[in-house]
Structure 1
Amino acid sequence: MREILFDTETTGVFPDHADEKLRDRVVEIGCVEVFNLERTGREFHAYINPERDVPEEVVRVHGLRGDFLRTQRRFAEIVGEFIEFVGDAPLVAHNASFDRGFINAELRRCLLTELPEDRFVDTLALARKKFPGASCSLDALARRFQLDRYGFDLASRKGPGGHGALVDSRILAEVYLHLKGGREQRLAFEADEVAAADAGMLQPIEFVRRAPRPIPLGPRGSAEEAEAHAAFIAKLGEKAIWLKTGS
């Protein structure tokens, strides 16, 4: 199944602020395509001119300043590429209601149809169900699943500008794979793959009984060894298991 893991960076947390001048906007979108819980390598990424200022406290999170963003395209200019990339696939995000709210606010400004809630998968909800009581932030999950083993620089995310929509989407793709058991699933063949690859090995094993020797083998021990063995068995008493076997 095709799914899109995505993340947004914004100017704040209020996409529907009563004062239009204070409404927060999307400044970056990152998308990663996944098919059957495996990254395909296809990605979508865009920086976006929010047409407003970017508060300094937000810049410290994603590092995107207004002077850089003013050189980028507006959302209306990239929305066609975004919609074409995601197609009709489910959209997977961490704390999906946040990203859904911002994407739909931007779509409304473009007089386009909003994305329905049932199209979104929230990895935060999946994580909280799997790890009740534990921290389920994206960074906490990345550490739990030791994503530094796959080349992610988790330490740098603690510093200024350590977060970005595309890198967060890539991290989210690995987190989602672990949450869905994808790493374990890939260790096993599908039933039809087993049948094709190991057809010969799956045939019943037949055991062929050997015919008895025409002449039984004689004793291998010496007469002295036989006497020593008999003396040892005599010491075990009448209940010795050796006597019951008839050997």
Structure 2
Amino acid sequence: MMRQIILDTETTGLSAENGDRIIEIGCVELVSRKFTGNNLHHYINPERDSHEDALKVHGISNEFLRDKPKFAAIAGELVEYLRGAEVIIHNAPFDVGFLNKEFERLGLPPVTQIVSNVLDTLVMAKEMFPGKRNSLDALCDRLGVDNSGRTLHGALLDAELLADVYINMTRGQDALLIDIADAPGEGGAVEQIDLRRFELPVLRANEQELSAHATVLAELDKSSKGKTLWRQFENA
């Protein structure tokens, strides 16, 4: 059973090393690629004001954060929530850098020692869509994810959107894999089904379909100058 946490933060600015702090953290839980509703969301008193440019992005006022808990008050809950999960983040170095700095202040281990893996959807997007814009908004538009409610950045909303984006980005053959731990039977054993008890219908081609098929074969014969393999074996 795979447990994944989609995580996003909002901050007072762009540099954790220069003293900027986390003001909001939003996490969405997926288990076996399904939303569980077991999400985590906190506003945090950063003990400093946000930069003007950051305020334009997230719109969370300094006054609103004054009575919110400090990071130390929610750190324990956050660590236990993340423990052992695969964490999925868009532009992971940014959020991980801020989390590591907050953990360091409290004598806690870095993110990579708490979670099983960190997956960066920005890296994934650049590989899937080279040369294109790969911001969260751009990916929502490209993948048909409704982001009409996103007028400002918000950690929980962005995590929810990223979860939908991630599911759409990975909705290939991986989505067909069965988690053996969830399969029926003791010890994860898969139940054996005797397919002989099912009578499968035979759907035969109609005249129009046979004619269309013959036309395609004739074109292939022409382009290969009569060297198609099925012609050599059709009367064998």
Q: TM-score, normalised by structure 1?
A: 0.69
In structure 2, what is the Cα distance between the partners aligned to 1:83 and 1:133? 36
AA at the equivalent of 1:142: C
User: Post-superposition shift, 1:39?
Assistant: 1.3
User: Post-superposition shift, 1:27?
Assistant: 0.2
Residues 1:50 and 1:130: Cα distance change in structure 2 (over 3 Å) = same
Q: What is the aligned residue count? A: 191
Residues 1:202 and 1:102: Cα distance change in structure 2 (over 3 Å) = farther
Which of 95, 117, 128 aligns to 2:126? It is 128
**SS across alignment from 1:3:** strand
User: Post-superposition shift, 1:156?
Assistant: 4.1
Aligned residue in 2 for 1:179: 169
Aligned residue in 2 for 1:14: 15
User: Post-superposition shift, 1:185?
Assistant: 3.0
Q: Is the Cα–Cα contact under 8 Å of residues 141 and 175 in structure 1 kept in the other structure? A: yes
Which stretch shows the higher mean deviation, 173-182 or 92-101?
173-182
Which of 16, 28, 32 aligns to 1:32? It is 28
Answer yes or no: is 1:155 the counterpart of 2:148: yes
Q: Deviations over 1:109-164 (max 9, x none)?
A: 1111112288311000011111111111111111111112xxxxx2343x4xx110
Which stretch shows the higher mean deviation, 112-121 or 37-46?
112-121
Which of the two has higher C-alpha Rg? 1
AA at the equivalent of 1:146: G
- Structure 1, unmatched stretches of 5+, are 18-22, 149-153, 207-247
Answer yes or no: is 1:165 the counterpart of 2:155: yes
AA at the equivalent of 1:175: V
Aligned residue in 1 for 2:58: 62
Q: Is the Cα–Cα contact under 8 Å of residues 48 and 74 in structure 1 kept in the other structure? A: yes
Residues 1:156 and 1:41: Cα distance change in structure 2 (over 3 Å) = closer
Query: After superposition, where does 1:188-199 map in structure 2 within 5 Å?
Result: 199=193
Which stretch shows the higher mean deviation, 91-100 or 50-59?
50-59
- Structure 2, unmatched stretches of 5+, are 185-189, 201-236
AA at the equivalent of 1:52: R
Query: After superposition, where does 1:85-104 map in structure 2 within 5 Å?
Result: 85-104=81-100
**SS across alignment from 1:71:** coil
**SS across alignment from 2:166:** helix
User: Post-superposition shift, 1:203?
Assistant: 4.1
Q: Is the Cα–Cα contact under 8 Å of residues 37 and 182 in structure 1 kept in the other structure? A: no
Q: TM-score, normalised by structure 2?
A: 0.72
In structure 2, what is the Cα distance between the partners aligned to 1:173 and 1:190? 19
Residues 1:73 and 1:190: Cα distance change in structure 2 (over 3 Å) = closer
Aligned residue in 1 for 2:142: 144
User: Post-superposition shift, 1:104?
Assistant: 0.2
Q: CA RMSD in A?
A: 2.9
